[in-house]
């Protein structure tokens, strides 16, 4: 996805599901989600171990969250070996973008997302790109 296309998309979307969002303030997922929340996005935490994170109801799965929210972006904070299952679950929900955070890489999952017509970014931080693109 080009920078211009990504900038335009991030200006249009409103709801970001953060898979693996930690309630711990010192974890990267928490900092990224807090930044995105401050930038005006509605954050939907996906973490089965918690009922609420960042003042939002936490869901055990993307599918459970999708029953209550239209999810525009799926931001994945899971190890690479677990990313494929999350991507497959996301594909079924048809988000406008799937984002695998810095250090998360799964080329086969990315190919499945692209084959389904869903753009995917890998091994990059959504918050950093948001700042760089000046969304």
Across 68-76, average pLDDT: 98
> Residue 17 corresponds to which tokens in the numbers above?
């599901």
Q: What is the pTM for the complete model shown?
A: 0.96
Report how many domains make up the chain.
Answer: 1
State the pLDDT at residue 31. 97
Its domain, for residue 16, covers 3-133
Q: How far apart are CA 22 and CA 123, in angstroms?
A: 19
CATH number, residue 96: 3.40.50.720
Q: How far apart are CA 119 and CA 97, in angstroms?
A: 5
Across 7-27, average pLDDT: 97
State the pLDDT at residue 16. 98
**pLDDT tier for residue 126 given thresholds of 50, 70 and 90:** very high
State the pLDDT at residue 113. 98
State the pLDDT at residue 102. 95
């Amino acid at each position: 996805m080009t920078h211009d296309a990504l900038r335009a998309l991030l200006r249009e979307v409103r709801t970001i599901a953060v898979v693996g969002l930690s309630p711990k303030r010192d974890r990267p997922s928490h900092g990224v989600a807090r930044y995105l929340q401050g930038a005006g996005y509605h954050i939907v935490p996906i973490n089965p171990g918690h009922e609420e994170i960042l003042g939002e109801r936490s869901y055990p799965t993307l599918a459970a969250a999708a029953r209550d929210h239209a999810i525009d972006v799926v931001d994945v904070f899971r190890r690479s070996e677990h990313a494929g299952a999350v991507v497959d679950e996301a594909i079924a929900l048809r988000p406008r973008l799937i984002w695998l955070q810095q250090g998360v890489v799964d080329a086969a999952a990315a190919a499945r997302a692209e084959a389904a017509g869903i753009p995917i970014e890998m091994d990059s931080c959504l918050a950093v790109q948001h700042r760089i693109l000046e969304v």
